[in-house]
Amino acid sequence: MKFMLGCNFWDSKNGTDMWRKFDPELIESDIKALADTGVRFIRCFPNWRDFQPVEKLYQWRGNDKCYVDVETEQPLDGSDGIDPKQIENFKNFAKICEKYNIDLQVSIVTGWMSGRLFVPPAIHDKNPIMDSEALMWENKFIRGFVNAVKDCKNIVMWGLGNESNCMGPANNRYDAYVWTAYVRNAIKATDPSRPISSSMHGLEANEYGWTLKDQGEICDYMCNHPYVSRSLNNDIDLMNKMRSTVFPTVQCAFYADLGGKPTILEEQGSFSRMLGNQEVAADFARINMFSSLAHNVKGYMWWCGPNHVDLPNPPYPWSMIERDLGILETDNTPKPVGREIKKFGEVLDKLPFDEMPDRTTDAYIMLTDGVDKWGVGSIAYVLGNQAGIDCRFTVSNDPVPNSKLYIVPSLAGWSVLHQRAWWGMRDKVRDNGATMLVTYDGSQLSDVEDMLGLTSYGILKKGMNHKGKFPFGEMEYWVNADAKLESIGAEVLATNEEGNVVLSKHKYGKGYIYFLNMPLEQNLINKACVFDDTDYYKFYSIVAEDVVKDKVLVSKNTQIFATLHPYNDGVLAVAMNYSNVEQKCDFAIKEGWEIAEVIHGETDSIGKCDGAIYFLKKK
C-alpha cells in the first residue's frame, strides 16, 4: 500500500454541517487547493445525523408510535432511513476527489466529531455502543450506506467511525469487543473487498474496556490521533522538541506492536497558535511525516484540511482548539504545514518503492502489570533510541519474542510478571546470549539470587533522593522504594552514598542481566526536557554496547535517531533530527560498509525537525 499522505476533511464554510449544506462548488475549490498542496488521501465523514435523519414519534403516555423523516415527519421511504439525497452528495464528493487524484478513507459511523455527538434524532438519548435500538439503526445505516457507495473507485479503506469509543460508555471489555465486531461484520458483509481501520481515541495496553489487542484482532489497521496533548502525556515539552516530536511515533509503535496490526497516523494537528506559531507547527508536521515513514507507519493525515475559524455552528464555538487546525488558511492558501506536506510528497516520489521496507529492531520493552504501561514504555523507547537501540513493545502475558535485548522498565507492584514472561526472558538470556535490563520500583521479584546475583536485606518504602556514582559520572536520583542490596556474584557497576548497590551486571548462562535499583523511567514521565543534554540514556548505552556494535549504522548524536531497512543488496537508513535546531550528524558505520547513495538530505548535518535517507552497501 502506498503511504497515505493527506488530511481529514470538512469543507471550509460549513465544517460538520457540510452535508446538510452541500455545496459542490465550494467543495471542489477546497479539494483543488488541498491537491495543490500535495494531499493524496482524504479521511472523510458521513455525518450520521444527516445521512440517517430518522425521528421517532410518540403517542399517548409517551408510547412509541413510528419512525419518520425528521424534516417531513412522513413515513420513511425505505427501511434503513438513509436520505437518498445524501448518498448522491457523497458520490458527488467522491467524484470531485477522484478528479484530483485523491483517494478516500471513509469513517462510516461518524456519531462523534470534535467534542459533539451527531446521531439520528430518534436515538439522541440512547447509548450508541450498547442500546439495542441504537444498534439496530447503526446496522441499517452501515449496510445501506456501504452498499450504496461501495462502487466509488477511489474509496480505498473503511473506518469503523471517528473515535467511536467517545460516543458512549462500554461497561466492560466484552461490550467494547462486541460493538467493534458488530460494526466490522456489518461492513464486511456488504463489502468484503476493502480493509477496515479502528480509528479509536486513546487506547491503552490494558485488559479492560477498549483494548489494543481486541481492536487489532477485529480490524485491519490500528489508527492513532497523537496531538501535543495530555492524553498522550505529550503536553510537557515544546512542540518542536524531543518528546513532543517523537512521542507520536512511539504511540504508533505501541499500537502496532500490542495490536498486532499496522498503524496509520490518522490525525495530527497543532490545536492553537498558543502551542506554537505556524512555523513551529510545520516543524512538528515535517518530522512526524519522516518519522512515520521510517517506522513503517502506513500513513500520515493532518487535522484538518480547511480552516474553521469563523464557523458559528457547534462544536466550533465551544472550543478554541477546533478552529485553526487547517492545512489551508481561510482564503485556501497553504499554511507552512501545507507546504511541508507538498515537499514530503516529493520525497516519497524519489523513493524506488511504494512501501517502505520493514525496519529491523534490536530490543523488546516488556510492559508489566502494576505500572503505567504507556508512561514508562514511552520513556524507555526514547532512551533506547538515544542509546542506538530501535525498540518494540510486548506485554508480560504474551509469549516472549526472540530478541538480543529485553528492557523491563520500572517494575512495581505485587503481581507484575507472568512466570512465562520472567522465566521466558531468563531462558533467552541463559540459552541464546540475550541481555536483560530490569529497572526497579519496589516490586516483588523471585529468583533474585539466581538471576540477579544479588541478595536483599529488605525494602524501605520511604521515598528519598540518593546520589549514585555511575560509570558515566555522578547523578542524583529518586526512589519510592529503597531496596537494600548486596552482591553475591553480580558485578557492581554503581553504588550510592550509602554504599548500596544501584547498578549491577550478572553473567547468566550465555548472556547478562543488568539491574538498576531505581525507577528510571517512572521518574522521567512528567519531567520536562529529559531528552535534551542529559545522561539518562547512558544507563541504556551501558547495556546496549554488545547490541549496537554489529549495526550497519548507529547515530551517536542523541537528537538524531536512525532506522535501518534491509533493501536489495544493502540497507536503507532513515535519519531523523527530533530537535528544533540543526544537528551535526555523527554516525558510526560498520567496518566494510559505506553510504553509497544519498536519496534525500545531507550526511554532514540534518536541519531542525527534518530527515535524511541513505542507502548503504558493503564496500
Question: pLDDT: is 66 or 255 the higher one?
Answer: 255
Q: Looking at domain 553-618, which CATH architecture does it have?
A: Sandwich (2.60)
**Cα(328)–Cα(26) distance, rounded to whole angstroms?**
14
**Cα(592)–Cα(586) distance, rounded to whole angstroms?**
18
Quote the cell numbers at residue 69.
Answer: 423523516
What are the start-end ranges of the H helices in 392-456? 419-432
**Cα(196)–Cα(5) distance, rounded to whole angstroms?**
18
Residue 185: helix, strand or coil by DSSP?
helix
Residue 609 preceded by cis peptide, ω within 30: no
**What's the pLDDT band for 575 if we cut at 50, 70, 90?**
very high
Question: In the predicted model, what is the mean pLDDT of residues 325-341?
Answer: 95
CA 261 to the chain's CA centroid: 12
Question: pLDDT: is 72 or 98 the higher one?
Answer: 98
pLDDT per residue over 164-200, tens digit each? 999 999 999 999 999 999 999 999 999 999 999 999 9
Residue 314: helix, strand or coil by DSSP?
coil
Question: In the predicted model, what is the mean pLDDT of residues 404-422?
Answer: 92
Parse the chain into domains and list their residue ranges: 4-49+81-350, 363-548, 553-618
Q: Is the pTM of this model over 0.75?
A: yes
> Regarding the domain with residue range 4-49+81-350, which homologous superfamily does it belong to in the CATH classification?
Glycosidases (3.20.20.80)
Element containing residue 495 per DSSP (H, E)? strand 491-496
**Orientation of helix 24-36 relative to helix 84-99, angle to 10°:** 30
Quote the cell numbers at residue 223.
Answer: 489508527
Question: pLDDT: is 571 or 202 the higher one?
Answer: 571
pLDDT per residue over 354-383, tens digit each? 999 999 999 999 999 989 999 999 999 999
Number of residues in the chain: 619
**Cα(528)–Cα(224) distance, rounded to whole angstroms?**
24
- Fold designation for 363-548: Rossmann fold (3.40.50)
Is it the case that residue 233 has pLDDT exceeding 80? yes
Strands 491-496 and 501-508: antiparallel
| Res 594: pLDDT | 98
Q: Assess contact for 432 and 404: CB atoms under 8 A.
A: no
**Torsion 576-243-375-173 (CA) sign:** negative
How does the average pLDDT of the chain come out, rounded?
A: 96
Any residues with CB less than 8 A from the CB of 31 and at least 6 apart, and which?
9, 42, 96, 97, 99, 100, 102
Q: Assess contact for 155 and 169: CB atoms under 8 A.
A: no
Question: In the predicted model, what is the mean pLDDT of residues 210-235?
Answer: 94
